[in-house]
Structure 1
Amino acid sequence: MSSPQPDPELREALLVLAGLPDDSPALPGQLSTIVRLSAEVVDPVDFASITVFAVEGHRTHASSNEVAEAVDLAQYAEDAGPCLLALHSGETVGVPDIGGVVVWPGFRDVAWRYGVRASLSVPLFAGSGVLVAALNLYARDAAGMRLLIQRVQSCYLAGPTQVLPRMDAGSEQFLAGLADALLSRDLVQRALGLLMDRDNIALGSAYRRLVEATEAGAPVTGTANAILRQYAS
């Protein structure tokens, strides 16, 4: 008999985030949900947190426990580390062997002290496609984290990628959520491009029109899909 599949809540949470307007009051709660579920259902992950932009630079919006927050704070203190690189570059940043890190000594030393041996920081975005946070995943077992790093990085690469082994059900749920979110971002960007070309307006104006045309509480992806269908017809 096969083992029961975890509830698909994490996959749905990532997809919902990708469809929220950037200033939605639901966004902070959605980020907190993603942190909690990532630590609960993704097998290689022991601790998780979310880094966001703040007036003073950066802050941890939510964490699964004090270990994740301590590792985040070490990066803020040096204004350098994988979570900040992911947040500013929009690229996934995997550290499969924290003990071998040279460029971020503060991050390395604090993480090692708490038993963290590998990490992965994943850029997250809301409806406009602009980065809103970095999801930080920390693991005690470097070997278990290595494949997750490879699989997540492959999600963000354009074009054909190497076929990698499947993982536990929670990790597969997480990966499916990331893939869904990236497809949603592409959908919204295509709709915004259409509005910009059709109405000769800037990106910011196109995004505002998209949000204004979206019913309160509904995802902007639904409106974007309707715009593309209307154009195709």
Structure 2
Amino acid sequence: MTSRPAEQLAETFVELADMMAREYDLDGFLRLLVNRSVQLLDVPAAGVLIVGHGVVASHERLIPVLGHDVSPLADSARDGEVVAVPDVDAATAWPGFADDARGAGFASVHVLPLRRRGETVGALALFRDGTGEADVRLAKAVADIAAVTIMQARALRQADELAGQLQHALDSRVIIEQAKGVLAERLGLGMGAAFTALRGYARSHNTRVAELASAIVDGRFDTNRLRR
């Protein structure tokens, strides 16, 4: 990586975006995020909490620290606000977190929400060996990049899932219409009566209508079984 922060930030943005564009690998993305945060922001360790997903850390010794339900990360992810802990010895609001952070060798932590347009998906925590406030201007840019990337990837994934569901529904509708035609011809029924027979048999035999319709169209089901 280059020595200039702006170029480092640009490279980080491209790398993070590229990972989520290639495949929705959230854990891989989060590992890359914390590792790049350590390099770019010159901190000894970083961790991230994603709501409904879990935590990822740059170092194994950080996992117990991040695992607390009552912690600066949990507060930041819930409230969408920055949480500064310049001295973990004075962090009386999160005693368990403070004890584990101190035990892992950290004296302070600064947590930034992963937030975009009123929605917070998690929080990024930067751990330091010394006490005091941290300069988080660059860290905020990293957090914003991560939030945007995660939200865009989720939106695309949801769109793909919805498209798949709609396609499945359409395919099922086509199969059902074909099965109605087969039943109407073989059993001498109108299309409405054919569907009533199809649906009634499926319900009475605890079978999905689309599955029964597919078996009828494929010839795997004896339509005479639907005769009254």
TM-score by length of 2: 0.53
2:108 to 118, 133, 143: 118
Q: Is the partner of 2:134 in helix, strand or coil? A: helix
Match of 1:158 in 2: none
Match of 1:133 in 2: 122
1:86 to 65, 73, 76: 76
Tell me the CA shift for residue 29 of structure 1: 3.1
Q: Check whether the contact 2:45–2:58 (CA below 8 A) recurs between aligned residues.
A: yes
Match of 2:209 in 1: none
Q: Is the partner of 1:137 in helix, strand or coil? A: strand
Match of 1:142 in 2: 131
Where in structure 2 are the equivalents of 1:70-85 lying within 5 Å?
A: 70-73=64-67, 75=68, 79-85=69-75
Q: Which runs of 5+ in 2 are unaligned?
A: 161-228
Q: Is the partner of 1:112 in helix, strand or coil? A: helix
Match of 1:64 in 2: 58
Pairwise CA RMSD: 3.8
Question: Are 1:37 and 2:31 matched, yes or no?
Answer: no
Change (3 A) 1:129 1:32: farther
Change (3 A) 1:179 1:108: closer
Give the distance between the partners of 1:96 and 1:87, measured in 2 at CA: 19
Q: Which runs of 5+ in 1 are unaligned?
A: 153-171, 189-206, 213-233
Tell me the CA shift for residue 50 of structure 1: 1.3
Change (3 A) 1:132 1:65: same
Q: Which amino acid aligns with 1:111?
A: A
Q: Check whether the contact 1:11–1:178 (CA below 8 A) recurs between aligned residues.
A: no
Structure with higher helix content: 2
Deviations for 1:31-82, whole angstroms, at most 9, x for unmatched residues? 3221111112212x2111111223xxx621x211112212112x2xxx2110
Q: Is the partner of 1:142 in helix, strand or coil? A: coil
Match of 1:102 in 2: 92
Which deviates the most, 9-18 or 83-92? 9-18
Give the distance between the partners of 2:46 and 2:120, measured in 1 at CA: 18
Deviations for 1:134-180, whole angstroms, at most 9, x for unmatched residues? 1111111113xx132xx44xxxxxxxxxxxxxxxxxxx4x4444567
Deviations for 1:164-209, whole angstroms, at most 9, x for unmatched residues? xxxxxxxx4x444456779x79xx9xxxxxxxxxxxxxxxxxx89x
Change (3 A) 1:108 1:119: same
> Which runs of 4 or more aligned residues in structure 1 lie more than 6 Å from their structure 2 counterparts after TM superposition?
15-18, 179-182
Give the distance between the partners of 1:30 and 1:134, measured in 2 at CA: 14
Q: Check whether the contact 2:47–2:125 (CA below 8 A) recurs between aligned residues.
A: yes
Change (3 A) 1:8 1:33: farther
Give the distance between the partners of 1:4 and 1:66, measured in 2 at CA: 28
Could you tell me the percent identity over the aligned residues? 27
Task: Say which structure, 1 or 2, has more relative contact order (CA 8 Å, 6+ apart).
Answer: 1
Larger-gyration structure (1/2) = 2
Q: Check whether the contact 1:10–1:38 (CA below 8 A) recurs between aligned residues.
A: no
Give the distance between the partners of 1:176 and 1:53, measured in 2 at CA: 20
Match of 2:179 in 1: none
